[in-house]
Amino acid sequence: MITEVNGLLVYESEALKDYKDKVNYFVTTRLGGVSKFPYESLNVAFKNKEDRDNVYENLEIICNKLGFNKEAAVCVYEDHTNEVVIITEKNKKDYLFSSHHDIVADSMITNLKNVPLIITIADCNAILLYDPKNNVIANVHSGWKGTTKRIALKTLDKMMKEFGTNPTDVICSHSPSIQACCWKTKDRDLVEGLKRFWDYQNEYVKEDSNGWIHVDFAYVITKELIEAGVKEENIFNEKICTCCNVDKFFSYRRKTELGQPAYGVQISIAELV
């Protein structure tokens, strides 16, 4: 649900309502920061000509309002890959947000407490996976390209191999992201190519009366996680569309439709406490 925490508008998932003493997790909106057009106002990405000081100040606002330690926050350079990293006591300094590094990956897993995992999004889905039995979390960036590379499944598989996670224990939350109403294309070759990954197109592809083909990638992610053993009742998706709600969220799709290539990002931020 979209709610206000200490004066900051955020998305808070019902998925973790029973684990608030174990996990601190929010998705920010675009509101409440210091960045100017076209990044107004709570942008947390170093894009184009954005002022770096604004980005750090925005992160400080987020962490102060939501109870995270900015200096401990880690991130990766997201590039729509299927690379998954495990944040450990030994390597966490290599991933600090403050270092603005270029280590490419699109998913982070950790069992460390008080290490905020940051995923940046502006239409892409951020998938949170939490294993309450082993007290392990993962924060996953899954745009449509990452979804075809099964980044969420690869993350779950790594949690199983490295931490003994049983999929039936996993709690999953989808962030606000672009929904099928707005993810549309007239590129039939692209859509036909999706059959290489999922042959049940009648379930996630719909064509409207104007010839636009709509694809529901969040549906695909959910279906694959269920097939991998995650219980359907443990997967939460409120289907909040970032492209429909640009008054609250940054949207890459909406910006490009308006001919404005520069855009800001919100973050999915989660830590064990």
Distance (Å, whole) CA 250 – CA 91: 31
Amino acid at 167: P
Question: Quick one: pLDDT at residue 196?
Answer: 87
Percentage of the chain surpassing pLDDT 90? 90
Both structure tokens of 153:
């499944």
| Res. 256 pLDDT band, cuts 50 70 90 | confident
Residue listed under structure tokens 């269920």: 226
Residue-wise pLDDT for 198-242, tens only, equals 989 899 999 999 999 999 999 999 999 999 999 999 999 999 999
Distance (Å, whole) CA 68 – CA 159: 24
Q: Which helix (H) or strand (E) holds 185?
A: strand 184-185
Question: Quick one: pLDDT at residue 30?
Answer: 97
Residue-wise pLDDT for 173-209, tens only, equals 999 999 999 999 999 999 999 988 998 989 999 999 9
Residue listed under structure tokens 């030994």: 90
Question: Quick one: pLDDT at residue 47?
Answer: 76
Homologous superfamily assigned to 2-179+216-272: CNF1/YfiH-like putative cysteine hydrolases (3.60.140.10)
Q: Is pLDDT above 80 for 261? A: no
Mean pLDDT of 41-70: 94
Other beta carbons within 10 Å of 38: 18
Residue-wise pLDDT for 77-122, tens only, equals 999 999 999 999 999 999 999 886 789 999 999 999 999 999 999 9
Contacts of 199 (CB under 8 A, 6+ apart): none
